[in-house]
Amino acid sequence: MIALIIEHIETEGPGTLGEFLARRGYQLEYARLYEGYDFSEKHPGYDLIVSMGGPMNVYEEEKYPFLAKETVFLRKSVAEGSNVIGICLGAQMVAKCCGASVTQSPMREVGWGTVALTSSGLSDKIFAGVKNPLTVFQWHEDMFDIPKSGILLAQSQECPHQAFRINRAYGFQFHVEVDANILDTWFHDSHEKESILNTYHDLADELKEQSELIYGNLLKLIDG
C-alpha cells in the first residue's frame, strides 16, 4: 500500500496521519513541492493521496507555480476516483480542482476550537464513532466553497465550510494531524506557544482517540 504525501512547505508534514499509515504498513512517498517535485513524471497507482497545508493561497500560482501543477494532478486523481484527503490548504486545493471557489473566510481562525458535523457528516463513514462536535486545531484565513455535487460534512460558527466530500475525496479545513512537535515548530517564536501546547496536552487523549477513529475509518473506506 502506497500513500503519496504532498507537502507545500517543510514544516507542514503528515504528523499523526503519517505515523498511523506507517504503523498500518503503508509506504509513504513524499511529493515535496518546495524542493521541485515533478508531477509530470510517471507514478505508480497510489492507494491514498494526501495534500497537506501551507501558508500560501491556492490562487498564488505565479508566486508558487507548483500549485498549478498540483491542481492538474488532483483534478485527474479525483475524477478517476482515487482516495484523496486534503488538509487546510490541501482541502482548498481539492475544492479548487473540482471547480469550487476559495475565498476569504468570514473569520480568520488560529488556535483551538470546535466544528460541528452536519446531518451528512453524521452519516458519513469517515466520521463514524467520532464525537460531535469535534475539537480541532485551526490555522487559516481562506475557506473553500463546496464543489458542485460535493457534500458539506462539517461547519463552525466562524467558518461555515469545515469539511466536505466529493467522489472519494475529502477536504478538512482543520488540522487533525497536529502533535506537540508540529505545534512547537509552528509557534516557536510566538507568545501563544505555551498556551497552545498546554491545551494540546490537556486534550491529548481526546485528540488521539478522535484522529485514530478518523484515520481508521479512512482505511476502511479505502479497503472497502
Residue 35's contacts (CB-CB under 8 Å, 6 or more residues apart) are none
- Mean pLDDT for 192-208 is 96
Instruction: Decide: pTM greater than 0.75.
Output: yes
From CA 221, how far away is CA 71, in angstroms rounded?
24
Cβ neighbours of 203 (radius 10 Å):
15
Give the per-residue pLDDT at 107. Answer: 86
From CA 92, how far away is CA 15, in angstroms rounded?
19
Task: Tell me how far CA of residue 181 lies from CA of 15, 90, 104, in angstroms.
Answer: 9, 20, 28
Which of left, alpha, beta for 200 (phi over 0: left; psi -120 to 50: alpha)?
A: alpha
- CATH at 104: 3.40.50.880
Query: Residue 41 above 90 pLDDT?
Result: no
- The strand ranges marked E within 118-209 are 134-144, 151-155, 163-166, 169-172
Query: Residue 39 above 90 pLDDT?
Result: no
Query: Residue 42 above 70 pLDDT?
Result: no
Give the per-residue pLDDT at 208. Answer: 96
Query: Residue 200 above 80 pLDDT?
Result: yes
Q: How large a percentage of the chain has pLDDT more than 70?
A: 98
Query: Residue 18 above 90 pLDDT?
Result: yes
Fill in the amino acid letter for 63.
K
Domain count within the chain: 1
Which of left, alpha, beta for 147 (phi over 0: left; psi -120 to 50: alpha)?
A: beta
Give the per-residue pLDDT at 40. Answer: 74
- Mean pLDDT for 28-53 is 89
On the 0-12 / 13-18 / 19+ scale of CB atoms within 10 A, 44 is exposed
Residue 24's domain comprises: 2-223
Q: How confident is the model at residue 197 (pLDDT cuts 50, 70, 90)?
A: very high
- Mean pLDDT for 160-183 is 97
- Mean pLDDT for 54-80 is 95
20-34 pLDDT, tens digit per residue, is 999 999 999 999 999
